[in-house]
Structure 1
Amino acid sequence: MGIQDIIEGKKQWRAHVARVEALPPDYQIVYKEMQRYLFKVGPVDLPDGPLLPGIVDFFEEGVAAGKGVTQLIGTDVAAFCDDLIKDSRTYADIYQESISASPGADKRP
């Protein structure tokens, strides 16, 4: 990864943050909770993937339609996030794999 890639990544992230900050306050609060949750348990490709920008797109459409954020996602943010990432490889999956393949296990009969 070169310096130009880093600079471009920062520009894209700043543009993303600006879109989030343009949302109504209730949407911003829910987005930040979703982001916090997803960075803890979410997919491995979260920083580079389409999930976060897709959520902002979804929220912008909700705002344009005049809907409240809870009308879009319900009242359980974690359940909504879990449904979004149900088919994605997560850090929890990687951890489970690492403890399942214990390196010190004796495989002799």
Structure 2
Amino acid sequence: MNFWDTVTGGDLTREWKAYEARAEALPADHRAAWAEIKAHLSPYGDFTGRNLMPILDGALGLLEETAAEGQGAREVLGEDVGGFCAALAGGEGARGHRDRWRAQLNGNVARKLGRLGG
């Protein structure tokens, strides 16, 4: 990966297109599960989403393996895809970008109020 690709996100675009091409080869129920996984994992991404690429690659690999073995997507993921994605992202209590921003904002406000009051 060169500097230009890192700055412009060209490497992410190529990876994303490769993931989508791989997903198109999956059976319909696995493609639907892929769409749900992407939707549930997006809150855990950083500004660029670069931190999610290895997680998405692993999840897509799991879907590919289960499709090759003839298993249904729900057999492997279960009915709680959101919980599955939270576990992939770092645990059930994993903080998303909204949670991090909220904590940062609360900290900034507390510091400002502390300066004004003291």
Fold-level match, TM-score > 0.5? yes
CA 1:105–1:91 in 2, change beyond 3 Å: closer, same or farther?
same
1:105 pairs with 2:113? yes
Task: Report 1:15-26 matches (<5 A).
Answer: 15-26=18-29
Give the drift of 1:2. Answer: 1.7
Q: Is the 8 A contact 1:43 1:91 kept in 2?
A: yes
Instruction: State the match for 1:94 in structure 2.
Output: 100
Give the drift of 1:100. Answer: 2.6
Instruction: State the match for 2:57 in structure 1.
Output: 53
- Indicate the structure whose relative CO is greater, using CA pairs within 8 Å and at least 6 residues apart: 1
Task: Report 1:49-88 matches (<5 A).
Answer: 49-87=53-91
Aligned length: 108
CA 1:59–1:14 in 2, change beyond 3 Å: closer, same or farther?
same
Structure 2 segments unaligned to the other structure (5+ residues): none
Q: Is the 8 A contact 1:43 1:89 kept in 2?
A: no
User: Partners in 2 of 1:51 and 1:37 — Cα distance?
Assistant: 12
Identical aligned residues as a percent: 25
CA 1:85–1:3 in 2, change beyond 3 Å: closer, same or farther?
closer
Structure 1 segments unaligned to the other structure (5+ residues): none
User: Partners in 2 of 1:68 and 1:46 — Cα distance?
Assistant: 32
CA 1:3–1:69 in 2, change beyond 3 Å: closer, same or farther?
closer
Q: Is the 8 A contact 1:73 1:80 kept in 2?
A: yes
User: Partners in 2 of 1:45 and 1:61 — Cα distance?
Assistant: 30
What amino acid maps onto 1:82 in structure 2? Answer: A
